[in-house]
Amino acid sequence: MTSTSPQKPMIQAARGEKPSRWPVWFMRQAGRYLPEYRAVRADVDFVTMCKRPDLAAEVTWQPLRRYDLDASIIFSDILIPCIALGQELTFDKGHGPRLSAPIRSITDVKSLKSPDATRDLGYVGDAISLTKTKLKPEQTMIGFAGAPFTVASYMIEGQGSKEFTEVKKLIFCDRPVITALLEKISQLTVDYLLMQVKAGADAVMLFDTWAGQVSPGVYRDLIFPCTNKIISEVKRASGVPVIYFPGQGSDRMYELTGCAADVISVDWRTRLSRAAEILKGVGLNVTLQGNLDPQALLAPEAELRAMVRALKDEARQAARAHIFNVGHGLLPHTPPESLSIVIDELRK
């Protein structure tokens, strides 16, 4: 079932081999900073774009037309599977995602649907298959999902949060509820990622944006085991490389002993060299991805080039291999020309 190819630099780097060139892509490279994205988005709401393979493929292709990128990540959202689980997902202007009927009890968890990834989320697979028809053979198609804790946090809070009080109530006062929810999400996530690989994904990424919102002990005991089980099962069943992004700082990296991921994506809050040191310390020999501050793309050309050079120097010494990226998703005010500067400086 593996669809990797030795000519794909990103896959070579992910596997710890010497890539034919330094691979680069940008988290949220299909997004609002591109006028052609805003043009598509003007006529259609965000969830509909994710559900229509023609539109999802179109905006996924947009950055590939502008930039010489090594990878393409399917346009979607980490909360799309929540629709299949029975919650209603909306994006209010200026507010971010909202999920209906937040999960607060074991009854709420049991009332969730038991979706079939192919039947209920097949549109994501269709978007991947369609996107892949226009990728070059050396380009990597990345599928993705939210890590279960991050998805669960939204399902519990019903929206983004600053304090995660409802999540913490379950962690500290009613752990069986969040455990059951994490289990439910995990089962779906394995099937969902394997469906994406079947549709053509050459690698998959697990986004744990909110991993930094729990203390290291809770992360180690409750969150990392279910996350790592997904990584192991997807790897075993598909053979594709798995990238894990434990968001917001290095404190969780100390807890990753036994992590099955091929690549750890590093937040910009952490020095790349420090991440390498910490991960080696817990016995991991992984490829690193990252980690320019996305806001650094605001800098004038000379400063931006200097930052890219500094990161190259750091990356050369840090890990078995490196995939150049930002340390968090691109922001809507990113100047599109900055991506060209980064890529040009990297290729030098």
Residues that bind its own copies (CB under 8 A): 163-165, 168-169, 171-173, 212, 214-217, 248-251, 254, 268-271, 274, 293, 295-296, 298-300, 303, 310, 327, 331, 333
Task: Establish whether 32 is a catalytic residue.
Answer: yes
Can you tell me the distance from the alpha carbon of 91 to that of 88, in angstroms, rounded to the nearest whole number? 10
Whether the Cβ atoms of residue 50 and residue 58 lie closer than 8 Å to each other? no
At 304, list the tokens: 């931006």
45 versus 303: smaller Cβ distance to its own copies = 303
Task: Establish whether 104 is a catalytic residue.
Answer: no
From 37, 67, 154, 192, the catalytic residue: 154
| Rg (the chain; Cα; Å) | 19
From 15, 37, 67, 77, the catalytic residue: 77
237 versus 307: smaller Cβ distance to its own copies = 307
DSSP state of 93: T
From 21, 41, 52, 320, the catalytic residue: 41
From 32, 104, 269, 274, the catalytic residue: 32
Question: What sections of 52-105 are H helices per DSSP?
Answer: 53-66, 80-84
From 15, 28, 98, 252, the catalytic residue: 28
Reduced to 3 states (helix: H, G, I; strand: E, B; else coil), residue 215 is coil
Smallest distance from its own copies to CB 277, Å: 10
Task: Establish whether 41 is a catalytic residue.
Answer: yes
221-250 burial, b at 16+ Cβ within 10 Å, e below that, comes to: ebbbebbbbbbbbbbeebebbbbbbbbbeb
2 versus 317: smaller Cβ distance to its own copies = 317
Smallest distance from its own copies to CB 268, Å: 5
Task: Establish whether 154 is a catalytic residue.
Answer: yes
Smallest distance from its own copies to CB 72, Å: 25
Smallest distance from its own copies to CB 164, Å: 7
88 class by beta-carbon count within 10 Å (0-12 exposed, 13-18 middle, 19+ buried): exposed
151 versus 272: smaller Cβ distance to its own copies = 272
123 versus 254: smaller Cβ distance to its own copies = 254
198 versus 220: smaller Cβ distance to its own copies = 220
Can you tell me the distance from the alpha carbon of 194 to that of 253, in angstroms, rounded to the nearest whole number? 26
Distance of CA 188 to the CA centre of its chain: 16
DSSP state of 270: S
Smallest distance from its own copies to CB 213, Å: 8
Can you tell me the distance from the alpha carbon of 271 to that of 257, in angstroms, rounded to the nearest whole number? 20
Can you tell me the distance from the alpha carbon of 154 to that of 172, in angstroms, rounded to the nearest whole number? 18
Which residues are identified as catalytic?
28, 32, 41, 77, 154
